[in-house]
Amino acid sequence: MIAFHSVLPEIAHREVRCIQLGEAPDGSTARGLSAGEYAFVEFYCEDLNCDCRRTFIQVIARDQRDRVLASINYGWEDESFYRQRMPYDPDAPAEIVRGSLDPMNAQSEHSAALLELFQRHVLDEPYRLRLRRHCQQCRDELRHRQNQPATLLPDSTSVPAAPTGASPPEASDRLIPAPHRLRFNEVAALLLQFGQAHLDAELTGFTVELWQRICRKKSPDCLRGQPGIWAAAVIHVIARMNFLFDRSQPVHLSFDTICAYFQTNKTTIGSKATTLERTLKLRPHSEPGLCRSSLLESFTTVRLTNGMVLSFEMAKRMGYLPPGATPADLS
Protein backbone atom coordinates (compact mmCIF):
# COMPACT_ATOMS: atom_id res chain seq x y z
CA MET A 1 0.00 0.00 0.00
CA ILE A 2 1.14 3.53 -0.76
CA ALA A 3 -0.06 6.72 0.91
CA PHE A 4 -2.32 8.79 -1.35
CA HIS A 5 -0.72 12.00 -0.07
CA SER A 6 2.71 10.77 -1.17
CA VAL A 7 1.46 10.33 -4.74
CA LEU A 8 -0.90 13.30 -5.18
CA PRO A 9 -0.25 15.66 -2.23
CA GLU A 10 -2.31 18.59 -3.52
CA ILE A 11 -5.46 16.52 -4.07
CA ALA A 12 -4.95 14.75 -0.73
CA HIS A 13 -4.59 18.02 1.13
CA ARG A 14 -7.78 19.33 -0.45
CA GLU A 15 -9.97 16.22 -0.40
CA VAL A 16 -8.93 13.70 2.27
CA ARG A 17 -11.83 13.47 4.72
CA CYS A 18 -11.52 15.07 8.15
CA ILE A 19 -14.15 15.28 10.86
CA GLN A 20 -14.33 17.76 13.72
CA LEU A 21 -15.62 16.56 17.08
CA GLY A 22 -16.77 19.14 19.58
CA GLU A 23 -17.64 18.83 23.22
CA ALA A 24 -21.25 18.55 24.32
CA PRO A 25 -22.56 21.24 26.69
CA ASP A 26 -21.83 18.95 29.66
CA GLY A 27 -18.19 18.58 28.55
CA SER A 28 -18.58 14.99 27.38
CA THR A 29 -17.41 13.67 24.00
CA ALA A 30 -18.45 10.79 21.77
CA ARG A 31 -17.37 7.36 23.06
CA GLY A 32 -14.47 8.86 25.01
CA LEU A 33 -12.85 10.50 22.00
CA SER A 34 -11.18 13.82 22.65
CA ALA A 35 -12.63 16.93 21.04
CA GLY A 36 -10.66 17.90 17.96
CA GLU A 37 -10.02 17.06 14.34
CA TYR A 38 -9.53 13.51 13.05
CA ALA A 39 -8.14 12.76 9.60
CA PHE A 40 -8.92 9.60 7.61
CA VAL A 41 -5.67 9.11 5.72
CA GLU A 42 -5.94 6.94 2.61
CA PHE A 43 -3.60 4.27 1.24
CA TYR A 44 -4.02 2.38 -2.04
CA CYS A 45 -2.53 -0.70 -3.63
CA GLU A 46 0.55 0.17 -5.69
CA ASP A 47 0.42 -3.06 -7.70
CA LEU A 48 -1.00 -1.88 -11.03
CA ASN A 49 -1.93 -5.44 -11.97
CA CYS A 50 -4.09 -5.79 -8.88
CA ASP A 51 -7.83 -5.14 -9.01
CA CYS A 52 -8.64 -5.33 -5.29
CA ARG A 53 -10.68 -2.06 -5.29
CA ARG A 54 -10.05 -1.35 -1.63
CA THR A 55 -8.49 1.34 0.48
CA PHE A 56 -6.62 1.12 3.75
CA ILE A 57 -7.37 4.05 6.05
CA GLN A 58 -5.40 5.24 9.06
CA VAL A 59 -7.18 7.56 11.49
CA ILE A 60 -4.95 10.22 13.03
CA ALA A 61 -5.79 13.07 15.41
CA ARG A 62 -4.45 16.53 14.60
CA ASP A 63 -2.88 16.82 18.06
CA GLN A 64 -1.36 13.29 17.92
CA ARG A 65 0.00 13.06 14.40
CA ASP A 66 2.65 10.49 15.32
CA ARG A 67 0.10 7.95 16.56
CA VAL A 68 -2.30 5.80 14.51
CA LEU A 69 -5.59 5.57 16.39
CA ALA A 70 -7.33 3.10 14.05
CA SER A 71 -6.60 1.12 10.89
CA ILE A 72 -9.65 0.48 8.70
CA ASN A 73 -10.19 -1.65 5.60
CA TYR A 74 -12.90 -0.49 3.21
CA GLY A 75 -14.07 -1.43 -0.28
CA TRP A 76 -16.46 0.69 -2.36
CA GLU A 77 -17.92 -2.01 -4.62
CA ASP A 78 -20.93 -4.25 -3.93
CA GLU A 79 -20.53 -7.30 -1.71
CA SER A 80 -20.85 -9.56 -4.76
CA PHE A 81 -17.58 -8.20 -6.17
CA TYR A 82 -15.58 -9.19 -3.07
CA ARG A 83 -17.48 -12.46 -2.66
CA GLN A 84 -16.16 -13.60 -6.03
CA ARG A 85 -12.60 -12.81 -4.98
CA MET A 86 -12.80 -14.20 -1.45
CA PRO A 87 -15.04 -17.29 -1.59
CA TYR A 88 -13.04 -18.81 1.25
CA ASP A 89 -14.21 -16.20 3.79
CA PRO A 90 -18.02 -15.73 3.80
CA ASP A 91 -17.91 -12.84 6.32
CA ALA A 92 -15.20 -10.77 4.64
CA PRO A 93 -17.27 -9.16 1.82
CA ALA A 94 -19.82 -7.61 4.20
CA GLU A 95 -17.05 -6.42 6.54
CA ILE A 96 -15.14 -4.76 3.71
CA VAL A 97 -18.20 -2.95 2.34
CA ARG A 98 -19.21 -1.47 5.68
CA GLY A 99 -15.61 -0.96 6.88
CA SER A 100 -13.73 -3.08 9.40
CA LEU A 101 -10.70 -2.83 11.66
CA ASP A 102 -7.55 -4.33 10.16
CA PRO A 103 -6.23 -7.00 12.58
CA MET A 104 -2.72 -6.82 11.11
CA ASN A 105 -2.12 -3.10 11.65
CA ALA A 106 -2.02 -0.53 14.42
CA GLN A 107 -5.07 -0.04 16.60
CA SER A 108 -5.74 1.78 19.88
CA GLU A 109 -8.24 1.89 22.71
CA HIS A 110 -10.26 4.27 20.51
CA SER A 111 -10.36 2.02 17.42
CA ALA A 112 -13.89 0.71 17.96
CA ALA A 113 -15.26 4.22 18.52
CA LEU A 114 -13.49 5.54 15.42
CA LEU A 115 -14.79 2.65 13.31
CA GLU A 116 -18.33 3.47 14.47
CA LEU A 117 -17.69 7.13 13.64
CA PHE A 118 -16.48 6.09 10.17
CA GLN A 119 -19.50 3.88 9.53
CA ARG A 120 -22.15 6.27 10.84
CA HIS A 121 -20.89 9.74 9.98
CA VAL A 122 -18.02 9.55 7.48
CA LEU A 123 -19.08 6.87 5.05
CA ASP A 124 -21.70 8.16 2.61
CA GLU A 125 -22.23 7.96 -1.14
CA PRO A 126 -20.17 11.06 -2.09
CA TYR A 127 -17.29 9.77 0.04
CA ARG A 128 -17.55 6.30 -1.51
CA LEU A 129 -17.27 7.83 -4.97
CA ARG A 130 -14.43 10.05 -3.80
CA LEU A 131 -12.40 7.04 -2.60
CA ARG A 132 -13.03 5.31 -5.90
CA ARG A 133 -11.85 8.39 -7.77
CA HIS A 134 -8.76 8.72 -5.56
CA CYS A 135 -7.85 5.11 -6.30
CA GLN A 136 -8.15 5.76 -10.04
CA GLN A 137 -6.10 8.95 -9.82
CA CYS A 138 -3.43 7.18 -7.77
CA ARG A 139 -3.19 4.36 -10.32
CA ASP A 140 -3.00 6.81 -13.23
CA GLU A 141 -0.22 8.79 -11.56
CA LEU A 142 1.77 5.65 -10.76
CA ARG A 143 1.37 4.50 -14.37
CA HIS A 144 2.52 7.89 -15.58
CA ARG A 145 5.64 7.64 -13.44
CA GLN A 146 6.33 4.22 -14.90
CA ASN A 147 5.58 5.49 -18.44
CA GLN A 148 2.69 3.09 -18.83
CA PRO A 149 -0.50 4.02 -20.72
CA ALA A 150 -3.31 4.96 -18.37
CA THR A 151 -6.40 2.78 -18.20
CA LEU A 152 -9.58 3.09 -16.22
CA LEU A 153 -10.69 0.73 -13.54
CA PRO A 154 -13.53 -1.42 -14.93
CA ASP A 155 -16.91 0.33 -14.77
CA SER A 156 -15.34 3.42 -13.19
CA THR A 157 -17.87 6.13 -12.41
CA SER A 158 -15.67 8.45 -10.39
CA VAL A 159 -16.63 12.10 -10.07
CA PRO A 160 -13.92 14.79 -10.30
CA ALA A 161 -13.81 18.09 -8.49
CA ALA A 162 -16.06 20.77 -9.92
CA PRO A 163 -14.56 23.24 -12.39
CA THR A 164 -14.07 26.77 -11.16
CA GLY A 165 -14.48 28.51 -14.49
CA ALA A 166 -16.58 28.29 -17.60
CA SER A 167 -14.28 26.12 -19.71
CA PRO A 168 -15.21 22.44 -19.88
CA PRO A 169 -12.60 19.68 -19.90
CA GLU A 170 -11.47 18.30 -23.21
CA ALA A 171 -13.51 15.57 -24.84
CA SER A 172 -10.55 13.24 -24.29
CA ASP A 173 -11.25 13.30 -20.54
CA ARG A 174 -10.49 9.66 -19.71
CA LEU A 175 -13.27 9.46 -17.16
CA ILE A 176 -15.96 10.04 -19.77
CA PRO A 177 -16.67 6.83 -21.73
CA ALA A 178 -15.48 7.11 -25.32
CA PRO A 179 -18.98 6.69 -26.85
CA HIS A 180 -20.20 9.68 -24.81
CA ARG A 181 -17.43 12.17 -25.64
CA LEU A 182 -18.93 13.57 -28.83
CA ARG A 183 -22.27 14.14 -27.09
CA PHE A 184 -20.45 15.67 -24.12
CA ASN A 185 -18.74 18.26 -26.34
CA GLU A 186 -21.95 18.98 -28.23
CA VAL A 187 -24.01 19.83 -25.14
CA ALA A 188 -21.09 21.47 -23.29
CA ALA A 189 -20.78 23.95 -26.17
CA LEU A 190 -24.46 24.85 -25.76
CA LEU A 191 -24.00 25.30 -22.01
CA LEU A 192 -21.06 27.65 -22.56
CA GLN A 193 -23.00 29.68 -25.11
CA PHE A 194 -25.93 30.06 -22.74
CA GLY A 195 -23.60 30.83 -19.85
CA GLN A 196 -21.90 33.63 -21.75
CA ALA A 197 -25.29 35.18 -22.43
CA HIS A 198 -27.06 34.68 -19.09
CA LEU A 199 -24.77 33.32 -16.33
CA ASP A 200 -21.47 34.07 -14.64
CA ALA A 201 -18.37 31.86 -14.85
CA GLU A 202 -19.07 29.98 -11.62
CA LEU A 203 -22.65 29.09 -12.55
CA THR A 204 -21.57 28.08 -16.05
CA GLY A 205 -18.97 25.84 -14.46
CA PHE A 206 -21.69 24.21 -12.36
CA THR A 207 -23.69 23.39 -15.50
CA VAL A 208 -20.66 21.77 -17.14
CA GLU A 209 -19.87 19.83 -13.97
CA LEU A 210 -23.41 18.45 -13.84
CA TRP A 211 -23.26 17.49 -17.51
CA GLN A 212 -19.95 15.71 -16.86
CA ARG A 213 -21.57 13.67 -14.11
CA ILE A 214 -24.41 12.70 -16.42
CA CYS A 215 -22.05 11.65 -19.21
CA ARG A 216 -20.12 9.38 -16.87
CA LYS A 217 -23.26 7.48 -15.91
CA LYS A 218 -24.97 4.65 -17.75
CA SER A 219 -28.30 6.02 -16.57
CA PRO A 220 -29.64 8.44 -17.58
CA ASP A 221 -28.40 7.70 -21.10
CA CYS A 222 -26.89 10.95 -22.39
CA LEU A 223 -27.05 9.69 -25.98
CA ARG A 224 -30.85 9.64 -25.98
CA GLY A 225 -32.68 12.90 -26.54
CA GLN A 226 -31.88 16.18 -28.25
CA PRO A 227 -28.82 18.21 -27.17
CA GLY A 228 -30.94 21.31 -26.60
CA ILE A 229 -33.26 19.46 -24.23
CA TRP A 230 -30.30 18.12 -22.26
CA ALA A 231 -28.75 21.58 -22.01
CA ALA A 232 -32.02 23.21 -20.91
CA ALA A 233 -32.66 20.52 -18.29
CA VAL A 234 -29.12 20.83 -16.88
CA ILE A 235 -29.44 24.61 -16.63
CA HIS A 236 -32.85 24.25 -15.02
CA VAL A 237 -31.39 21.98 -12.31
CA ILE A 238 -28.57 24.43 -11.55
CA ALA A 239 -31.03 27.33 -11.54
CA ARG A 240 -33.27 25.60 -8.99
CA MET A 241 -30.35 24.57 -6.80
CA ASN A 242 -28.98 28.13 -6.72
CA PHE A 243 -32.32 30.04 -6.49
CA LEU A 244 -31.74 31.67 -9.87
CA PHE A 245 -35.50 31.99 -10.41
CA ASP A 246 -35.51 34.48 -7.51
CA ARG A 247 -35.36 37.99 -8.96
CA SER A 248 -33.51 39.24 -5.87
CA GLN A 249 -30.43 37.18 -6.82
CA PRO A 250 -27.52 39.01 -8.52
CA VAL A 251 -27.82 36.54 -11.39
CA HIS A 252 -31.37 35.42 -12.04
CA LEU A 253 -33.24 33.61 -14.79
CA SER A 254 -36.78 32.86 -15.76
CA PHE A 255 -37.98 29.47 -16.94
CA ASP A 256 -39.15 31.23 -20.10
CA THR A 257 -35.61 32.45 -20.79
CA ILE A 258 -34.22 28.91 -20.69
CA CYS A 259 -36.95 27.38 -22.84
CA ALA A 260 -36.96 30.22 -25.37
CA TYR A 261 -33.20 30.03 -25.81
CA PHE A 262 -33.28 26.31 -26.62
CA GLN A 263 -36.79 26.35 -28.16
CA THR A 264 -38.02 23.67 -25.77
CA ASN A 265 -41.24 22.91 -23.92
CA LYS A 266 -41.58 23.80 -20.23
CA THR A 267 -43.28 20.55 -19.28
CA THR A 268 -40.57 18.47 -20.96
CA ILE A 269 -37.71 20.39 -19.36
CA GLY A 270 -39.27 20.53 -15.89
CA SER A 271 -39.91 16.79 -15.93
CA LYS A 272 -36.41 15.96 -17.19
CA ALA A 273 -34.80 18.23 -14.58
CA THR A 274 -36.72 16.51 -11.78
CA THR A 275 -35.69 13.10 -13.12
CA LEU A 276 -32.03 14.18 -13.13
CA GLU A 277 -32.23 15.38 -9.54
CA ARG A 278 -33.74 12.09 -8.41
CA THR A 279 -31.52 9.81 -10.50
CA LEU A 280 -28.31 11.52 -9.43
CA LYS A 281 -29.60 11.93 -5.85
CA LEU A 282 -28.66 15.60 -5.78
CA ARG A 283 -28.98 17.39 -2.46
CA PRO A 284 -31.17 20.51 -2.82
CA HIS A 285 -29.10 23.70 -2.43
CA SER A 286 -26.24 21.76 -0.76
CA GLU A 287 -24.71 19.58 -3.49
CA PRO A 288 -20.91 20.08 -3.52
CA GLY A 289 -19.66 21.23 -6.89
CA LEU A 290 -23.07 22.46 -8.04
CA CYS A 291 -23.97 25.20 -5.53
CA ARG A 292 -22.52 28.52 -4.47
CA SER A 293 -20.48 28.40 -1.26
CA SER A 294 -22.95 30.65 0.57
CA LEU A 295 -25.75 28.16 -0.08
CA LEU A 296 -23.58 25.22 0.95
CA GLU A 297 -22.91 26.83 4.33
CA SER A 298 -26.58 27.64 4.87
CA PHE A 299 -28.05 24.30 3.78
CA THR A 300 -25.33 21.82 4.81
CA THR A 301 -26.05 20.42 8.27
CA VAL A 302 -23.68 19.29 11.00
CA ARG A 303 -24.66 16.79 13.69
CA LEU A 304 -22.92 17.49 16.99
CA THR A 305 -21.82 14.74 19.35
CA ASN A 306 -24.79 15.52 21.60
CA GLY A 307 -27.18 14.80 18.72
CA MET A 308 -28.04 18.43 17.96
CA VAL A 309 -28.21 19.30 14.25
CA LEU A 310 -27.09 22.78 13.14
CA SER A 311 -26.50 24.41 9.80
CA PHE A 312 -22.81 24.53 8.87
CA GLU A 313 -22.93 28.31 9.05
CA MET A 314 -24.38 28.27 12.59
CA ALA A 315 -21.99 25.55 13.80
CA LYS A 316 -19.02 27.60 12.65
CA ARG A 317 -20.41 30.77 14.20
CA MET A 318 -20.91 28.99 17.54
CA GLY A 319 -17.35 27.67 17.54
CA TYR A 320 -18.07 23.99 16.88
CA LEU A 321 -16.06 24.19 13.64
CA PRO A 322 -12.71 25.89 12.90
CA PRO A 323 -13.00 29.43 11.45
CA GLY A 324 -11.51 28.34 8.13
CA ALA A 325 -13.70 25.23 7.72
CA THR A 326 -15.77 24.80 4.56
CA PRO A 327 -18.59 22.38 3.72
CA ALA A 328 -16.15 20.55 1.43
CA ASP A 329 -14.31 19.42 4.59
CA LEU A 330 -17.38 17.35 5.51
CA SER A 331 -18.05 15.94 2.03
| Mean pLDDT (whole number) for 31-43 | 85
Q: Is 157's pLDDT higher than 50?
A: no
CB-based contacts of 286-290 (< 8 A; 24+ apart in sequence): 286/327, 287/241, 288/126, 288/162, 288/327, 288/328, 288/331, 289/159, 289/161, 289/162, 289/206, 289/209, 290/162, 290/206, 290/209, 290/210, 290/237, 290/238, 290/241
Q: Helix, strand, or coil here: 18? A: strand
Helices (H), 23-89: 79-85
Distances (CA, A) of 266 to 9, 144, 214, 261, 272: 46, 47, 21, 12, 10
| Mean pLDDT (whole number) for 216-231 | 91
| Mean pLDDT (whole number) for 126-131 | 89
| Mean pLDDT (whole number) for 183-202 | 93
Amino acid symbol at 260: A
Res 312: pLDDT: 75
Helices (H), the chain: 4-7, 9-15, 79-85, 92-98, 111-117, 125-145, 181-198, 201-216, 227-241, 255-262, 266-279, 293-299, 312-317
Global pTM?
0.48
How far is 287 from 281, CA to CA, in rounded Å? 9
Residues 6+ positions from 260 with CB-CB distance below 8 Å: none
| Mean pLDDT (whole number) for 116-141 | 89
Res 331: pLDDT: 56
Phi, psi of 180 (to 5 degrees): -95, -10
Name the maximum alpha-carbon separation found in the chain: 63
Q: Helix, strand, or coil here: 98? A: helix
Helices 201-216, 181-198: inter-axial angle, 10-degree rounding: 160
Closest to 76 in 3D by CA, of 100, 58, 98, 45: 98
Q: Is 330's pLDDT higher than 80?
A: no
Res 33: pLDDT: 84
Q: Is 97's pLDDT higher than 60?
A: yes
Res 317: pLDDT: 75
Q: What CATH number does the domain located at 178-279 have?
A: 1.10.472.10
pLDDT digits 0-9 by tens, 248-302: 888 999 999 999 999 999 999 999 999 999 999 998 888 888 998 888 777 777 7
Helices 227-241, 266-279: inter-axial angle, 10-degree rounding: 70
Res 2: pLDDT: 85
| Mean pLDDT (whole number) for 193-207 | 93
How far is 234 from 207, CA to CA, in rounded Å? 6
Q: Is 144's pLDDT higher than 50?
A: yes
Cβ atoms 275, 236 nearer than 8 A = no
- Residues of the chain with pLDDT > 70, as a percent, come to 86
pLDDT digits 0-9 by tens, 78-92: 999 988 887 878 888
Does 220 sit behind a cis peptide bond, omega within 30 degrees of 0 on the bond before it? yes
Cβ atoms 2, 50 nearer than 8 A = no
100 pairs with which residues across the strands?
73
42 pairs with which residues across the strands?
57
CATH 1.10.472.10 domain locations along the chain: 178-279
User: Chain-wide mean pLDDT for the chain?
Assistant: 82
How far is 198 from 260, CA to CA, in rounded Å? 13
